[in-house]
Amino acid sequence: MKIDRRLIKNFDWVTFSLIIILAVIGVMTIYSATRPPLPHGTMPSYYMRQLYWVIMSILALLLMISFDYVWLKRVSYVLYGLGMFLLLLVFLLGRTGMGAQRWLNLGIVSFQPSEVFKLFYIITISRYLSELQGKVGLASLLRTFFLFAFIPILMLIKQPDLGTAIILLLVFLSIVIMKGLQRKAAALVVLISLVSVPFLGNILWEGLKDYQRNRLVAFLEPETDPSGIGYHINQSKVAIGSGQVMGKGYLKGTQGPFRFLPEKHTDFIFAVFGEEWGFAGSVVLLFLYLSLILRGLDTASKAKDEFGSLLALGISFMFTIYFCVNVGMTLGIMPVVGVPLPFMSYGGTSLLANFVAAGTLINIRTRRFALFY
Amino acid sequence: MSINVNSSEKILISSYVIIALFFILAIRTWQLQILQGHEYRKLSEENRLRIVRVAAPRGIIFDRNGTPLVKNTPYYFVSISPQNLDRLDISALAELLKIDRVVLLEKIKNRPQQNLYEPIRLKEGLSAKEIALIEARRSEFPSLAVDVDVSRDYLFGNIGAHLIGYLGKPNEFQYSSPDFRDVPSNAFIGQWGVEKLYDRQLRGTSGERIIEMDALGRELRLIKETSPIRGDDVKLAMDIKLQKEAEESFGEKTGALVAMKPDTGEILALVSKPSFDPNLFARGIRQRQWEELNQNKKLPLLNRSLQSQYPPGSTFKIITAIAAMEEGVIDAATKVTCTGEIAYGRWHFGCWQKQGHGTLSLHRALVESCDVYFYELGKRLGIDKIASYARMFGLGRETGLKMVKERSGVIPDTKWKLEKRRQPWYLGETFNASIGQGYVATTPFQIAQMMSIVATGGYIYSPSLLKVDTKPEPLRRLPVRQETFDEVKKALSGVVNENGGTGWAAKSSMVNICGKTGTAQVVGVKKDSKYLAETFRDHAWFVAFAPYEAPKIALSVMVEHGGHGGAAAAPIAKGAIETYMKGQRLENRQTAH
């Protein structure tokens, strides 16, 4: 494949710069969060590993934009099948971590297939919907749901990876809504949303693992168990709140390195950031993410085909949901569901998957003019 | 395929939805970081920083001659920081500390809620062997720490326990009082006696260590340290030799002794028997021992010198005599005839000497303690005059010593009876009161103070637990003529030294002791006390001062159910006075050299 001059000219530098900035902030924050509390302690290598992953992710991103995304449409079902296979693998022989089976051990690295799967999932649904004519009717809605969403969501609940399951469901709904729903189908979506909250609540409650129940209880009443899961929320709020306007300063935060904040370099990284950079830093960070997402929506509106448009929307919504659920959790306005902050949380698979997803956005934007093709 | 307009519109709407979502997150961030930021900053500091108060070494209590009465000794304990207790292997810890698992759990669970971050003390008073054992296995229990504290040794044990007092944990009331805000949470404060009264001086200023800690409760860094300032020493007026002699001469008897230096008001000895061992309290008394002390029928925790009141019996005749002389109802020569009883209406008031004392003057009436003579004085004076003189000498009123919640005693008069009993006063009651019976009640301390005032010839000094270096100014002089005091003092010398004196048992070859016996009826049965059950036997009193010429010591002795004052209480007084005078001579000889 030869690289077109105009391809470089149209390259989406904005999205690319934004995710690089976020990833660098992420590595810096991981460094601060995991630094030893004493000056002579040994520095854990989390930040280094994350840095390697950033480099690998950039390579993967470049690979992603080297071909026209339309090709993805063609291989989407293969990708979906691959993703399902990986999920099944986790299901059968996955490594258990934090009470949930999410990782596959590949010798040197363990990775989380669900992180990879979600991109394949969006590609496949986008393709399927883009091939439908007009608005989505009731039958198509149900067919799409049971064909592509139902089984993986069920498997994720079973893993249990409730966070990702909920996000997949939300992503599905948002893509379907953007495609456009016929009246009946729209009514069903609304009805399901309304009914499923209490119904799902009950089913889920019974099927929840203890730690998940605790998280819900803790979310509703964080003060009742100061040392349990509510402790996490409280310590996260303490970390963020103590940042005040300008923050304590980089490498001056205490909640993370002093171990008051759990999961400081993964799910609660926003709290570490908020403590050190304060309201000023938090607003800048919110602005960076918002820019990334709005850029994605803009890409969607400019895409040369409906597949690209739906794909860009799906990815942007996924970022939105991840971001809101994660930051909402650290701010104590969402239950603790354990999803990473895209581009910043420690974790290779997630970083790689998000870079590839962002690469897809860049790809769609770069190749938005049909005449190039 | 091109994108339809509808789709662009939807994308625009979803942009607004997303912007709104981000706005909510920003608002929440603003709320946490700006509205509540200050509060959360404080919480994060509290997370990280622990302020540990370090108790100052407590001041030493000395007796008037510089003999230390207490000692601070090191004392080891093991404690555990309360973070991450759920990861603790309780069984292994119980085995290491040799504590019952259940007891250990209880200790960890029942820690005080107000200091959740404070280490929990698990075992106290460790031996060197135990410390070595714990230190050897520290790596398994990183949050375990062996620390040293200071314990209080009371060098004389039971002797002077009520005066010196003891230490204890602050109670609920003290805990919330601003006076004790600086007290480290595990420190003990004075809870009785001088330890309590002078706690402020003795406890000094506690130090402070500000420590940076991680969530596991490990100390990372000492950020700031202010050293404690040692408490001030306290030099008591008490003479430990006198105190010891006095307590030991009580033997198994219950009662009280208060000795004062009449010309300064210093308290030379303060005895309450039975006593207790304050060392029991030094590091927290065990429940069982506390119950034992509290349930003991002889009430060892009661400071009888101030907290018990008894009829003063014939010691009160000193007041009646002074009142009569001052009011002019008699003079030194006035004679009254005692036939063994006095009739009043259909009532007969007997003299203790049933055969009667014959005709006698005030001098012999005091020497022989003739009741009938004082009935006559009472009749001539009236209760209100007697009461006003009694009050002048400090009876019926708290001493203002503030050491314990003391009893005020009772000095009855017509007004008192009307108020308390809603009845008029009867003359028969005056007869009783004039010999210190009936409603009259006094504490041993008040009686000692009364005797002190007689010894000085009417000068009143503020009682002092601390040694006074320069002779203090008297509070006031009573408006009583010197001749009256001279007459009474002469008679009191006679009580001990003349033939037929009731205080003969206090007669000393060493020093001229003046005194007065008293036998306070517990029940109104006129029977020889020897044949009565002990609890119905009379209380024995003896008040004294010495030497006659220039009094150096005044005291009161009260033996509960001791029978006759002359027999039970006078020898104790004599022993105490002789011990003190011996010490005085030694001191004088030393200063002369």
Q: Which of B484, B479, B438 is nearest to B329 (CA)?
A: B484
By the 8 A CB rule, do B273 and B241 touch? no
Q: Quick check: B218 pLDDT over 70?
A: no
Which range of A42-51, B7-16, B80-89, B442-451 scores highest in mean pLDDT? It is B442-451
Q: Which of A295, A333, A350 is nearest to A26 (CA)?
A: A350
Q: Quick check: B1 pLDDT over 60?
A: no
One-letter identity of residue A330: T
Model confidence pLDDT, tens digit, residues A279-336? 999 999 999 999 999 999 999 999 999 999 999 999 999 999 999 999 998 998 887 7
Return the pLDDT at A373. Answer: 46
Contacts of A1 (CB under 8 A, 6+ apart): A66, A67
Within an 8 Å CB–CB cutoff, is residue B3 touching chain A?
Answer: yes
Token pair, residue B335, equals 């004679």
State whether the Cα torsion B397-B399-B405-B409 is positive or negative: negative
Model confidence pLDDT, tens digit, residues B359-402? 999 999 999 999 999 999 999 999 999 999 999 999 999 988 88
- Of B323-332, B342-351, B486-495, the range with the lowest mean pLDDT is B342-351
| Average pLDDT across chain A, whole number | 85
Model confidence pLDDT, tens digit, residues B156-168? 999 999 999 998 8
B74, β-bridge pairs = B150
Contacts of A308 (CB under 8 A, 6+ apart): A69, A70, A300, A364, A367, A368
Question: For the purposes of burial, counting CB atoms within 10 Å of the CB of B319, is it exposed (0-12), middle (13-18) or buried (19 or more)?
Answer: buried
Could you give the angle at the alpha carbon of B330 between the alpha carbons of B325 and B333, nearest 5°? 105
Q: Which of A260, A295, A310, A323 would you mutate first to test chain B, the one with the most B CBs within 10 A?
A: A260
By the 8 A CB rule, do A271 and A291 touch? no
- Of A60-74, A185-199, B234-248, the range with the lowest mean pLDDT is A185-199
Q: Quick check: B2 pLDDT over 50?
A: no
CB contact under 8 A, B40 and A306: no
The share of chain A scoring above pLDDT 70, in percent, equals: 83
CA–CA gap between residue A206 and residue A200 (Å, rounded):
10
Question: For the purposes of burial, counting CB atoms within 10 Å of the CB of A86, is it exposed (0-12), middle (13-18) or buried (19 or more)?
Answer: buried
Strand order in the sheet with B207-213: B49-54, B207-213, B219-226
- Of A80-89, B125-134, B235-244, B379-388, the range with the lowest mean pLDDT is B125-134
CA–CA gap between residue A34 and residue A44 (Å, rounded):
7
* CB < 8 Å to A244, chain B: 33-34, 37-38, 40-41
CB contact under 8 A, B10 and A38: no
Long-range contacts of A299-302 (CB under 8 A, 24+ apart): A299/A12, A299/A15, A299/A361, A299/A364, A299/A365, A299/A368, A300/A364, A300/B11, A301/B3, A301/B7, A301/B8, A301/B11, A302/A365, A302/A368
Residue of A nearest to B222 (CA): A38
Give the pLDDT band (50/70/90) at residue B295. confident
Token pair, residue B432, equals 């009783």
Model confidence pLDDT, tens digit, residues B22-58? 999 999 999 999 999 999 998 888 877 777 788 888 9
Within an 8 Å CB–CB cutoff, is residue B22 touching chain A?
Answer: yes
| Average pLDDT across chain B, whole number | 87
Q: Quick check: A169 pLDDT over 80?
A: yes
Model confidence pLDDT, tens digit, residues A106-126? 555 567 888 889 999 999 999
Return the pLDDT at B529. Answer: 47
Q: Quick check: B551 pLDDT over 80?
A: yes
Within an 8 Å CB–CB cutoff, is residue B331 touching chain A?
Answer: no
CA–CA gap between residue A161 and residue B340 (Å, rounded):
107
* CB < 8 Å to B26, chain A: 282-283, 286
By the 8 A CB rule, do B346 and B403 touch? no
B124, β-bridge pairs = B77
Contacts of B304 (CB under 8 A, 6+ apart): B254, B255, B256, B272, B273, B444, B558, B560
Contacts of A254 (CB under 8 A, 6+ apart): A37, A248, A260, A275, B44, B47, B48
Return the pLDDT at B98. Answer: 83
Quickly count: other Cβ atoms within 10 Å of residue B71's Cβ: 13
The share of chain B scoring above pLDDT 70, in percent, equals: 93
Contacts of A122 (CB under 8 A, 6+ apart): A171, A175, A311, A314, A315, A318, A357
Return the pLDDT at B32. Answer: 94
CA–centroid distance for A332 within its chain: 19
Return the pLDDT at B3. Answer: 44
| Unique residue bearing structure tokens 């930040």 | A47
The closest CB to that of A279, out of B3, B15, B33, belongs to B33
* CB < 8 Å to A332, chain B: 28, 32
Long-range contacts of B525-531 (CB under 8 A, 24+ apart): B526/B350, B529/B563, B529/B564, B530/B563
Within an 8 Å CB–CB cutoff, is residue B418 touching chain A?
Answer: no
CB contact under 8 A, A306 and B86: no
Q: Quick check: A144 pLDDT over 80?
A: yes
Which range of A220-234, B322-336, B511-525 scores highest in mean pLDDT? It is B322-336
Model confidence pLDDT, tens digit, residues A322-371? 999 999 989 988 877 778 999 999 988 999 999 999 999 999 999 888 65
CB contact under 8 A, B22 and A279: no
CB contact under 8 A, A227 and B25: no
What's the rounded mean pLDDT across residues B207-228? 77
* CB < 8 Å to B220, chain A: 37-38, 258
Rounded alpha-carbon distances, angstroms, from residue B19 to A317, B24, B94: 12, 9, 58
What's the rounded mean pLDDT across residues B316-339? 92
One-letter identity of residue B278: P
Q: Quick check: A1 pLDDT over 80?
A: no
Q: Quick check: B76 pLDDT over 90?
A: no
Could you give the angle at the alpha carbon of A271 between the alpha carbons of A245 and A242, nearest 5°? 40
Within an 8 Å CB–CB cutoff, is residue B13 touching chain A?
Answer: no
Within an 8 Å CB–CB cutoff, is residue B177 touching chain A?
Answer: no
Return the pLDDT at A226. Answer: 47
CA–CA gap between residue B5 and residue A166 (Å, rounded):
30
Q: Which of B45, B46, B50, B71 is nearest to B60 (CA)?
A: B71
CA–CA gap between residue A338 and residue A215 (Å, rounded):
10
Q: Which of A310, A291, A292 is nearest to A300 (CA)?
A: A310
CA–CA gap between residue A319 and residue A301 (Å, rounded):
17
By the 8 A CB rule, do A323 and A273 touch? no
Quickly count: other Cβ atoms within 10 Å of residue A210's Cβ: 8
By the 8 A CB rule, do A156 and A165 touch? yes
The closest CB to that of B26, out of A286, A293, A301, belongs to A286
Q: In this structure, what are the phi and psi dihedrals at residue A114, rounded to the nearest 5 degrees?
A: -60, -30
CB contact under 8 A, B48 and A238: no
| Unique residue bearing structure tokens 């030694």 | B586
More confident residue, B91 or A202: B91
Residue of A nearest to B86 (CA): A227
CA–centroid distance for B54 within its chain: 27
Return the pLDDT at B202. Answer: 93
More confident residue, A69 or A261: A69
Q: What's the 3-state SS for chain A?
A: CCCCHHHHHCCCHHHHHHHHHHHHHHHHHHHHHHCCCCCCCCCCCHHHHHHHHHHHHHHHHHHHHCCCCHHHHHHHHHHHHHHHHHHHHHHHHCEEECCEEEEEEECCEEECHHHHHHHHHHHHHHHHHHCCCCCECHHHHHHHHHHHHHHHHHHHHHCCCHHHHHHHHHHHHHHHHHHCECHHHHHHHHHHHHHHHHHHHHHHHHHCCHHHHHHHHHHHCHHHCCCCHHHHHHHHHHHHHHCCCCCCCCCCCCCCCCCCCCCCCCCCHHHHHHHHHHHHHHHHHHHHHHHHHHHHHHHHHHCCCHHHHHHHHHHHHHHHHHHHHHHHHHCCCCCCCCCCCCCCCCCHHHHHHHHHHHHHHHHHHHCCCHHHC
Q: What's the 3-state SS for B97-124?
A: HCCCHHHHHHHHHCCCHHHCCCCEEEEE
3-state DSSP call for residue B566?
Answer: helix
Largest CA distance in chain A: 65
Q: Which of B237, B230, B233 is nearest to B198 (CA)?
A: B233
Model confidence pLDDT, tens digit, residues A191-227? 877 765 655 555 555 556 666 666 666 666 555 554 4
Return the pLDDT at A223. Answer: 52
Return the pLDDT at A3. Answer: 58
The closest CB to that of A241, out of B3, B8, B36, belongs to B36
Q: For B158, which DSSP code?
A: T
Cα of A356 to nearest chain B Cα, Å? 22
Rounded alpha-carbon distances, angstroms, from residue B100 to A48, B80, B104, B287: 49, 16, 6, 17
CA–CA gap between residue B260 and residue B239 (Å, rounded):
10
CB contact under 8 A, A286 and B221: no
Q: Which of B238, B278, B236 is nearest to B258 (CA)?
A: B238
Within an 8 Å CB–CB cutoff, is residue B27 touching chain A?
Answer: no
Give the pLDDT band (50/70/90) at residue B5. very low
Q: Write out the catalytic residue numbers of B.
A: 314
